[in-house]
Amino acid sequence: MIELNAVLQTSPVALVVLDDDDFIIQANDKAVAMGLCTGTALASYIANLKEKFVDHVRHQPGSQLYRLEFEYGEKRCRASFEENNGDLYVWLVDVSEQLVLADQIRRLKHPDSKKMRQISQ
């Protein structure tokens, strides 16, 4: 296991390092602020994931979108990962705000019937 250097530790993107048993063995400052704790399984935070995250991603292509559940709420994150020296490095990019903005834009592009009546009058 390699210690996270200062750049990775203070990265604006959450980074966790998992062992083969799916336990978080290292987490940078952003991951800790998000609510991820060392010594816990990453799969325990991910909604609707029944297997170990480590096993799950070995059968998945590239990055995926996951819903992480915490005591205070949930976050939608895009997870990218790579294996190095038997450990799995997982980058978690919070895309919750982007998804909310995309939904608002989609609703503005396709207004409901009430809005259409207002526009036509």
Looking at residue 115, its pLDDT comes to 72
| Closest alpha carbon to 81 in 96, 71, 66 | 66
**Over the chain, what is the mean pLDDT?**
82
What 3-state class would DSSP assign to 15? strand
Eight-class DSSP state of 2: P
pLDDT of residue 65 exceeding 90, the answer is no
* Residues of the chain above pLDDT 70, percent: 93
Average of pLDDT values for 71-95? 85
Extract the tokens encoding 65.
Answer: 């979108």
Extract the tokens encoding 21.
Answer: 């048993």
Residues for the chain: how many in total?
121
From CA 110, how far away is CA 94, in angstroms rounded?
26
* Residues of the chain above pLDDT 90, percent: 12
Mode of pairing for the β-strands spanning 14-18 and 24-27:
antiparallel
Task: Name the residue with tokens 């010594």.
Answer: 39
pTM of the model: 0.74
From CA 8, how far away is CA 28, in angstroms rounded?
7
